[in-house]
């Protein structure tokens, strides 16, 4: 994905694409994306904001159905052209802001296509944003919640203080299913988070997590304590802090949302708002003698494993550098 600076973002998109548009102005509207005349925004007769893609050719395509908060229709009332229209059915201001992000992302990433492929790509991208617009909030497992809190804490309080938003998000590879959570050039960092009741052990859930594939590998152990006070960080606090920093650049904002929302969109209200106070964070360097299981130690017939490291037993591997120094110079 091409990176856009804030100044380019201002030139290519309006902050509020629907600003000053008249209610009921559809089928006319305003250009959404200055680099492509096929992407437009409008407002329907009920005052609901929408964006549409106007492509030359009578294209046979079926509209998406069953998406919460948005309605997708195919408009064939144009001689020699086909429109796909996406309308936000909810008038909530927060959803309108989210819908603006979705519309800009779709225009930016689908403008390279044409014909049937364009309309297919537009609908596929709309579908990929559905959970962002209307999160499921079904709840995370305890392990998912603690793990996401730890990764967002590391991104918010460590990486974004040392590196640019685009670099920080590039380093954060955990959501992509990579072996470790953060990879910086020649080093990698695996983040493990424990609540204070489990602070004496670190659970390693796969062989890959401590598999050294870079020149240096570190294990960052974060210990936090659930807190009823106003101190500490909730999942929502960490998410919003990251978003406030990365949102200065459109592509970084979109990358962040896409990386985090599969899990963040599942978190229920209690998980979003519960505060956790940092107790300690310890960095360990994974050397050849570090007591862990590696592929070479395990028979091929073993497909996976999970084990616990006792914290007192790995004290000698504590890194002499601080986590801030490692991240800054990594």
Q: Which domain-ending residue is among 133, 152, 171? A: 133
What are the tens digits of pLDDT across the range 89-104? Answer: 998 888 999 999 999 9
| H or E stretch at 282 | strand 275-285
In this prediction, what percent of the chain has a pLDDT beyond 90? Answer: 80
Mean predicted lDDT score pLDDT of the chain: 92
Tell me if 198 sits within 8 A of 225, measured CB to CB: no
- Note the Cα 205 to chain centre separation in Å: 23
Same domain, 324 and 219: yes
Predicted TM-score (pTM) of the model is 0.87
Nearest to 36 by CA among 55, 18, 20: 55
Residue 318 resides in a domain: yes
Task: Read off the tokens for 174.
Answer: 């955990």
Tell me if 254 sits within 8 A of 101, measured CB to CB: yes
Q: Which domain-ending residue is among 133, 157, 181? A: 133
Residue 315 resides in a domain: yes
Q: Which domain-ending residue is among 133, 160, 183? A: 133
The tally of domains found in the chain comes to: 2
pLDDT higher than 80, residue 159: yes
Exposure b/e, 88-101, CB count within 10 A at least 16 = b: beeeeeebbebbbb
Task: Give the pLDDT score at 5.
Answer: 41
Q: Alpha-carbon distance 293 to 296, whole Å?
A: 8
pLDDT higher than 80, residue 329: yes
Check residue 153 and report its DSSP letter. H
Same domain, 158 and 83: no
Residue ranges of the alpha helices (H) in the chain? 6-12, 93-110, 115-128, 130-133, 142-154, 160-162, 165-171, 235-246, 250-264, 269-273, 323-329
Same domain, 167 and 271: yes
Tokens 């106070």 locate to 277
Same domain, 150 and 55: no
Tokens 């959970």 locate to 131
pLDDT higher than 70, residue 193: yes
Same domain, 92 and 228: no
Same domain, 128 and 154: no
Task: Give the pLDDT score at 249.
Answer: 84
Least confident of 26-35, 166-175, 221-230: 221-230
Residues 132-151, mean pLDDT to the nearest whole number: 95
Residue 192 resides in a domain: yes
Residue 271 resides in a domain: yes
Same domain, 200 and 323: yes
Residue 1 resides in a domain: no
Task: Give the pLDDT score at 8.
Answer: 52
- Around Cβ 303, how many Cβ atoms within 10 Å? 7
Give me the numbers of helices (H) and strands (E) for the chain, helices first please.
11, 12
Task: Read off the tokens for 284.
Answer: 């360990």
Same domain, 81 and 182: no
Residues 243-250, mean pLDDT to the nearest whole number: 90
| pLDDT-based confidence at residue 228 (cuts at 50, 70, 90) | confident
Q: 57 lies in which domain range?
A: 6-133
Same domain, 201 and 287: yes
Q: Alpha-carbon distance 261 to 182, whole Å?
A: 18
Same domain, 121 and 258: no
Residues 232-257, mean pLDDT to the nearest whole number: 93
Q: Alpha-carbon distance 189 to 171, whole Å?
A: 10
Same domain, 203 and 75: no
Residues 85-89, mean pLDDT to the nearest whole number: 97
Length of the chain equals 330
pLDDT higher than 70, residue 4: no
Residues 299-328, mean pLDDT to the nearest whole number: 94
What are the tens digits of pLDDT across the range 8-65? Answer: 555 668 789 999 999 999 999 999 998 999 999 999 999 999 999 999 999 999 999 9
Residue 274 resides in a domain: yes
Same domain, 157 and 11: no
Residues 284-291, mean pLDDT to the nearest whole number: 96
Q: Alpha-carbon distance 244 to 253, whole Å?
A: 9
Least confident of 4-8, 113-117, 180-184, 224-228: 4-8
């Amino acid at each position: 994905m091409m990176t856009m600076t804030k100044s380019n973002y201002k030139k290519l998109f309006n902050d509020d694409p629907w600003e000053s548009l008249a209610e009921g102005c559809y089928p006319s509207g305003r250009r959404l994306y200055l680099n492509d005349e096929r992407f437009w925004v409008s407002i329907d007769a009920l005052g609901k904001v929408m964006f549409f893609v106007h492509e030359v050719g009578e294209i046979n395509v079926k509209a998406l159905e069953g998406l919460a908060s948005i309605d997708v229709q195919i408009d064939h009332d144009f001689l020699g052209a086909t429109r796909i229209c996406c309308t936000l059915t909810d008038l909530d201001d927060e959803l309108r802001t989210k819908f603006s992000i979705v519309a800009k992302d779709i225009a930016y990433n689908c403008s390279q296509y044409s014909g049937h492929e364009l309309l297919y790509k537009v609908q596929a991208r709309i579908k990929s944003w559905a959970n962002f617009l209307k999160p499921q909030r079904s709840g995370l497992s305890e392990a998912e919640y603690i793990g996401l809190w730890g990764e967002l804490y590391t991104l918010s309080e460590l990486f974004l203080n040392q590196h640019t938003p685009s670099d920080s998000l590039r380093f954060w590879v955990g959501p992509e299913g990579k072996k470790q959570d953060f990879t910086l050039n020649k080093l990698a960092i695996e983040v493990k988070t424990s609540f204070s009741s489990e602070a004496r052990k670190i659970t390693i859930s796969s062989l890959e997590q401590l598999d050294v594939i870079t020149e240096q590998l570190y294990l960052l152990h974060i210990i936090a304590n659930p807190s009823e006070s106003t101190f500490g960080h909730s999942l929502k606090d960490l998410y919003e802090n990251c978003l406030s920093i990365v949102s200065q650049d459109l592509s970084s904002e979109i990358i962040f949302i896409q990386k985090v929302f599969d899990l963040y969109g599942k978190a229920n209200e209690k998980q979003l708002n519960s505060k956790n106070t940092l107790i300690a964070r310890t960095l360990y360097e994974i050397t050849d003698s570090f007591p862990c299981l590696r592929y070479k130690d395990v028979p091929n017939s073993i497909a996976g494993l999970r084990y616990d490291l006792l914290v007192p037993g790995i004290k000698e591997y504590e890194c002499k550098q601080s986590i801030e120094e490692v991240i800054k110079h990594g």
